[in-house]
Amino acid sequence: MAVVEVERCGGYAVVTMNRPEAMNALSKALRTELAHTIDALEADADIRAIILTGAGDRAFTAGLDLKELGSGASSLSDAVEKDDPASALRRFSGPVIGAINGVAITGGFELALACDVLIASETARFADTHARIGLMPGWGLSQRLSRAIGTYRAKEISLTGNFIDAATAERWGLVNRVVAPADLMPAARRLAEDMVSADPAMLKALKALIDDGFALPFGEAMALETERSAGNSAIGAEAVEARRKAVLERGRSQAS
C-alpha cells in the first residue's frame, strides 16, 4: 500500500497521506515520500494547485510517528531533514489547500500551517503537544501559528497542549471555513478548480507577493508590491477589456 496517494484532476492534484490505521502518523517513509511527491508536482507544469488531506475520517495526521521514533527505527534528526514535507509544501509555487478531515496534531498541525488555505471538517481538531513531549517545533509552528491567530491564542494552544475544535479554529481565523464531513472534499475541489481557472502565471506571482510581503515590515512590503506591479503598464487596452468582460461574465454565472 502506498503511503502517499496522488490523484491528478486537470490542473490540480489531491495528495492523500495514507496510513489510516496509524492515524496517518508521519513515519520516516511517509515524510520522505510526501516531500518527494510535492517536489515532483512542483516540477509538473500541468499541476497548478494541490489539495492535501489524510486517509480515513479520524486524522489529517497525528504528527510524527512516536512509536517509530521510540523504537529507534528513525531519529529526531531525520524529522528536520532538508526535504521535510513542510518545507516541500512551502516550496510549491502554487496554492496548497489543506482539507483537514480529522485531528492535526503537532507535526500534523505544522503541515496544516504550511498550507495556504485550510478547510476543516466539523470533526477536525488541532493540538500542539511539543511542550508535553519535550520537543521543540522545527517545521515552523512557533512562528506561523502566532502570525495566523495572534500570540495570545498561539501561546494558549502551545503552552497547554490542549485541543481546539473546528468551530474555535474558524472563530480564531485558523481555518477559512468549516463544513460537514461529507462536504469537505467537494468544497476543497471547488476551491482548487476556482484557483486553477485563474491565469497560471498570476496564480504563482500573486501567492509569492503575498508570502514575500508578509515576511517584511509593512513599508518594505508596500514597496515590494509597487516593484512587482510595474509590469501592469505593459498590458494593452484590448487585453484589459477582454479580461474585464471575462470577470463580469464569471460574476454573473456565480450569482445565478
CATH number at residue 85: 3.90.226.10
Would you say residue 231 lies in a domain?
A: yes
In this predicted structure, what is the pLDDT of residue 234? 78
Residues 110 and 231 in one domain: no
- Residue 210 lies inside a defined structural domain of this protein: no
User: Residue 47's closest CA among 15, 2, 87?
Assistant: 15
Alpha-helical regions (H) of the chain: 28-42, 66-71, 85-91, 107-113, 130-133, 141-149, 151-160, 166-171, 184-196, 200-214, 218-228, 237-255
Last residue of a domain, one of 196, 224, 245: 196
Residues contacting residue 8 through CB under 8 Å, at least 6 positions apart: 46, 47
238 and 173 inside one domain: no
pLDDT (tens digit per residue) in 202-253: 999 999 999 999 999 999 999 999 999 998 877 777 766 766 666 667 766 7
Examine residue 101 and state whether it is found in any structural domain, yes or no. yes
Residue 163: per-residue pLDDT: 98
Q: For residue 177, is it within any domain?
A: yes
- Higher-confidence residue: 107 or 83? 107
Confidence at residue 74, expressed as pLDDT on a 0 to 100 scale: 61
CA distances for 201 relative to 42, 60, 240, 243, angstroms: 14, 30, 16, 15
Query: Do 189 and 251 belong together in one domain?
Result: no
Identify the residue with better confidence: 171 or 243: 171
Query: Do 242 and 174 share a domain, yes or no?
Result: no
pLDDT at 238: 74
| Cα end-to-end distance, the chain, whole Å | 44
207 domain-assigned: no
The pLDDT, as a whole number, for residue 70 is: 67
Is the pLDDT confidence value at 130 over 80? Answer: yes
| Mean pLDDT of the chain, nearest integer | 92
Regarding whether 155 and 35 lie in a shared domain, the answer is: yes
**Are both 76 and 15 inside the same structural domain?**
yes
Alpha carbons 226 and 187: distance in angstroms, whole number: 34
* pLDDT reading at 101 higher than 70: yes
Is 160 among the domain residues?
yes
Domain count, the chain: 2
Q: Are residues 38 and 141 in the same domain?
A: yes
Same domain, 191 and 226: no
Task: Choose between 4 and 69: higher pLDDT.
Answer: 4
Both 24 and 142 in one domain: the answer is yes
In a domain, 201, yes or no: no
Residue 26 shares a structural domain with residue 54: yes
For residues 51 and 38, the answer to whether their CB atoms sit within 8 Å is no
Question: Could you tell me the residue range of the domain that residue 240 belongs to?
Answer: 216-255
> Where is 114: in which H helix or E strand?
none
Residue whose C-alpha cell reads 515576511 in the numeric block? 215
Cα gap 115→80, rounded to integer Å: 18
Do 106 and 229 reside in the same domain of the chain?
no
Task: Identify whether residues 84 and 39 lie together within a single domain.
Answer: yes
Average pLDDT over residues 147-158: 98
In this structure, is residue 204 part of a structural domain?
no
Per-residue pLDDT band for 22 (boundaries 50, 70, 90) equals: very high
pLDDT at 232: 84
pLDDT band at 2 (very low <50, low <70, confident <90, very high): very high
Of 232 and 83, more confident: 232
Best CA proximity match to 208, nearest among 191, 220, 225, 222:
225
